[in-house]
Chain A
């Protein structure tokens, strides 16, 4: 009874599952969450995400919310940002945070790493010119230090400058005084974050079983 009933529901999930790599249960749970956030509407808006209480104290909440509405993250080779997203886009963004499966090859691991780093890069590169300029980087550091008031803003500049210098010297090497370092490109970005194992660190644990709400209690 139940399984026959759920088959039509699973069909859209199946394609989603293949596309994003989540399991069917995980998709169901995330769908519930989506509905909860969007107040049972079909699309999610920025305001819906802004009302989440846990995000209040997060210094980079605007960037996080923006990332959900950034077309570059929808894996469709599109640019720009939208005002509302559907469940598919929501899930696609979430899929960046999946843990690598146990038995993937080195190439798949490398691919996953690039995808995750691309996501991070997009978060910083707000004007989508392919580089993270000094201004954008400064903005990032300022946000991180946004809780420290005046001191944060002052020192943020210095820290961002220092970090930029470091990237420049690692990526480009010695530069003549009249050369100008445009910004951090994606390749440089990959280089400086080589030391951090992104594919394992950038993941959250997606539940397989919904502990808060019982799933599949719709139409009997």
Chain B
């Protein structure tokens, strides 16, 4: 049923999308046009005298945005459609389906005798490609990437060079051999073609590997290769294009080519890193304008890409470098909501881009000028496959000598098989000048054939092959706190042993880099006290946050979705000599005083801050009023804590010291005034303010239980909820509860989480480079 509606809507869209040959043509439908009398007759009023046009049809001036939106809409509806057909989408990867749709649409348009839009290279490189690459770079798993960097570089550089020359050279041989029609294809053209087609395409790889969930090692190898070979492709492309006009290549040119390669790749990385650091630095100051935080990340990254393209450096590498450099620092600075926004915007854009690219590829196939030559095309296809296999096998043989974890033949097969070609190759060929390359159309046809083959055949069969060969899949287990502790311990241990041994190994340099990072870089780029937060603590806070969110999402019931069942509680691990009620700690008098003192000192500080940031705060001064209420409520909460503490004993972090980073961080968050209040008031109004949050009924009831005393003080905020106050209402992502009481924590954390539920259960997938 839904499917039929879909197809109907689709048909409508396509129909309305080809408006060129319509009533618009050859007339001015613009009612503002003071044209001659007869043209005014397009109004709907039947009188001959020109009346005021009540309703008129003006399409030309919205034509471009209209068509673009239509295409994007089409792409998105297609995506929706596929997931409604689960059987189909489990067999055929999305990219294939999208190409088929593109073919259909192109065919339809041709039928209507309209020129289908071709995937213009400018649009592709400037608008469609960057979001995908940025998404990949931002969520790149740095650790695995750097561990396998040597292997990835070997595949990317040496592998691509090998492919290019093998394919190009042998194709030239084939052309010479074939005679008559192909004999005038010169060596340089062939080499150029070889270099274009030999590059593994990140878009295609992402689209296919996304769905098969292979283990991280293989994923990062193929994906990393597809990203890093951009530099090689750029250099080879320019080299051959440059010299195809000249005609010959000398040794000097080869040498310059090598230098160019280094410049292009390192230059791209440097440009990206600079912009990344700028973005990180800017994000340090955004604590008061949280809404535009994501914008900085996007714009700086895009600028990095464009700047690299200006100098013909590798834009892709710039983008990757920018994303990877920006992420650790920006994430420490921005709010939780901004983080979610960035993540979702990136995924959304890259998803749409990816869909559009494949659809356009299909449309361009129908549209593009073709020249079919059996021998050339078939030879290209075979040579590509053979080159890939030989390259991978040969390189792995060499690489395995240097690796601890060897690449098995299964791995090699997947790497070879996963070398998909895609739209980048297509666009590069499209850019070729027909004067220099008379056989461009033939190249185009050949490339499209190879792309289709790799995407359809290899894309479709890779999933059953992965299952057949029992390749290790991606492990879904999350990292536990124990693993984190021991990994850190191991790192330090290995560094120490290297020190004792006396030689500067890999761990030593890593440790040095970390210390440099901590000492200088983090201080500059991360706002306030967060810069001193050790990784272990940050990890722990993150985990608690996730736990709390999971707890809330699961309805606040007794079942924790995590691996830590609530049946093991604190009392099980505490030594027996402590009092039995240790699991339900009461607030002792001394503790209470301590808490009060902490609060007081912090409130004083926040009050001072309030004065300077008065522009943004919308409350007069709640402290004087609310303070007594707070104390009263706290007593009530202590009774309620018993219920809550049963649920989650995992989260027991003692009170941070008064000036601890946790508290200070909360201060520096855009919501200084809410810090003191938040820990004690239940932020119920906060929850109400956040209109976007879905709340399970149970969680809301729990909130209700606590009482609504705080509502008066917050009432004034409510109507302004949708301004900047909203983001500031929620604590910054890593702002642990920052409070003074173990037991109150669970419920407070819950409160806070209620106001910022975010995407459920996916919070931890920050390292995910996947598109979806």
A60 to chain B, nearest CB (A): 5
Q: Are B537 and A180 in contact, with the CB atoms below 8 A?
A: no
CB neighbours (8 Å) of B570 from chain A are: 161, 165
CB neighbours (8 Å) of A141 from chain B are: 485, 536
Q: Are A204 and B497 in contact, with the CB atoms below 8 A?
A: yes
Query: B658's closest neighbor in chain A, by CB?
Result: A150
Q: Are B568 and A99 in contact, with the CB atoms below 8 A?
A: no
Q: Are B568 and A165 in contact, with the CB atoms below 8 A?
A: yes
Q: Are B656 and A154 in contact, with the CB atoms below 8 A?
A: yes
Q: Tell whether B507 is near chain A: CB-to-CB under 8 Å.
A: yes
Q: Are B494 and A159 in contact, with the CB atoms below 8 A?
A: no
Q: Are A166 and B480 in contact, with the CB atoms below 8 A?
A: yes
Q: Could you give, for residues 180-208 of chain A, a 1 whenever the CB lies within 8 Å of some chain B CB and a 0 otherwise?
A: 11000000000011011100111111110
Q: Are B494 and A202 in contact, with the CB atoms below 8 A?
A: yes
Q: Tell whether A16 is near chain B: CB-to-CB under 8 Å.
A: no
A165–B660 CA distance with the chains assembled, in angstroms: 25
B122 to chain A, nearest CB (A): 47
Q: Tell whether A115 is near chain B: CB-to-CB under 8 Å.
A: no
Q: Tell whether A27 is near chain B: CB-to-CB under 8 Å.
A: no
Contact of B486 among A100, A193, A205, A207 (CB under 8 A): A193
CB neighbours (8 Å) of A28 from chain B are: none
Contact of B540 among A102, A158, A167 (CB under 8 A): A158
CB neighbours (8 Å) of B488 from chain A are: 144
CB neighbours (8 Å) of A180 from chain B are: 572-573, 575-576
CB neighbours (8 Å) of A169 from chain B are: 563-565, 567-568
CB neighbours (8 Å) of B508 from chain A are: 54
Q: Tell whether B655 is near chain A: CB-to-CB under 8 Å.
A: yes
Contact of A206 among B406, B501, B536, B565 (CB under 8 A): B501
Indicate the size class of the contact surface on chain A: 35 or more
Contact of B477 among A33, A195, A211 (CB under 8 A): A195
Q: Are B503 and A212 in contact, with the CB atoms below 8 A?
A: yes
Q: Are A154 and B497 in contact, with the CB atoms below 8 A?
A: no
Q: Tell whether B661 is near chain A: CB-to-CB under 8 Å.
A: yes
A169–B572 CA distance with the chains assembled, in angstroms: 10
Which of B532, B573, B651, B654 has the most chain A CB within a 10 Å cutoff? B573
B665 to chain A, nearest CB (A): 11
A170–B568 CA distance with the chains assembled, in angstroms: 10
**Interface pick from A5-13, A81-89, A171-179:** A171-179
Q: Are B492 and A155 in contact, with the CB atoms below 8 A?
A: no
Given that A102-B406, A154-B657, A166-B481 are contacting pairs, would A33 and B492 also be in contact in the complex, using a CB cutoff of 8 Å? Answer: no
A86 to chain B, nearest CB (A): 16
Q: Tell whether A97 is near chain B: CB-to-CB under 8 Å.
A: yes
Q: Are B652 and A161 in contact, with the CB atoms below 8 A?
A: yes
Q: Could you give, for residues 153-171 of chain B, a 1 whenever the CB lies within 8 Å of some chain A CB and a 0 otherwise?
A: 0000000000000000000
Q: Are B515 and A159 in contact, with the CB atoms below 8 A?
A: no
A215–B406 CA distance with the chains assembled, in angstroms: 32
A166 to chain B, nearest CB (A): 5
Q: Tell whether A24 is near chain B: CB-to-CB under 8 Å.
A: no
Given that A64-B493, A102-B406, A159-B540 are contacting pairs, would A165 and B654 also be in contact in the complex, using a CB cutoff of 8 Å? Answer: no
Q: Are B653 and A155 in contact, with the CB atoms below 8 A?
A: yes
Q: Could you give, for residues 58-92 of chain A, a 1 whenever the CB lies within 8 Å of some chain B CB and a 0 otherwise?
A: 11110110001000000000000000000000000
Q: Are A58 and B567 in contact, with the CB atoms below 8 A?
A: no
Q: Are A203 and B404 in contact, with the CB atoms below 8 A?
A: yes
Given that A97-B494, A159-B537, A164-B573 are contacting pairs, would A211 and B503 also be in contact in the complex, using a CB cutoff of 8 Å? Answer: yes
Given that A33-B501, A140-B489 are contacting pairs, would A166 and B534 also be in contact in the complex, using a CB cutoff of 8 Å? Answer: no
Query: B501's closest neighbor in chain A, by CB?
Result: A33
Q: Tell whether A157 is near chain B: CB-to-CB under 8 Å.
A: yes
CB neighbours (8 Å) of B505 from chain A are: 204-205
Q: Are A140 and B406 in contact, with the CB atoms below 8 A?
A: no
CB neighbours (8 Å) of A197 from chain B are: 405
Contacts of B633-655 to chain A: CB distance below 8 A? 649-655
Contacts of B492-517 to chain A: CB distance below 8 A? 492-503, 505-508, 515
Q: A141-B485, A148-B532, A158-B654 are in contact. List 19 more A-B contacts (CB 8 A).
A: A52-B499, A57-B515, A64-B493, A94-B497, A120-B490, A140-B485, A141-B536, A145-B536, A145-B537, A158-B653, A159-B485, A165-B570, A173-B565, A175-B567, A175-B568, A181-B568, A195-B479, A204-B507, A205-B506
Q: Would you mind naming 25 contact pairs between A and B with Cβ atoms under 8 Å apart?
A: A30-B501, A33-B500, A54-B499, A59-B492, A100-B404, A144-B492, A145-B537, A150-B660, A151-B656, A151-B660, A151-B661, A151-B662, A154-B654, A158-B540, A158-B654, A162-B651, A165-B572, A166-B480, A166-B482, A168-B573, A174-B565, A196-B487, A202-B494, A203-B494, A204-B505
Task: Give me the interface of B with A, judged by CB distance under 8 Å.
Answer: 404-406, 475, 477, 479-483, 485-490, 492-503, 505-508, 515, 532-534, 536-537, 540, 563-565, 567-576, 583, 649-657, 660-662
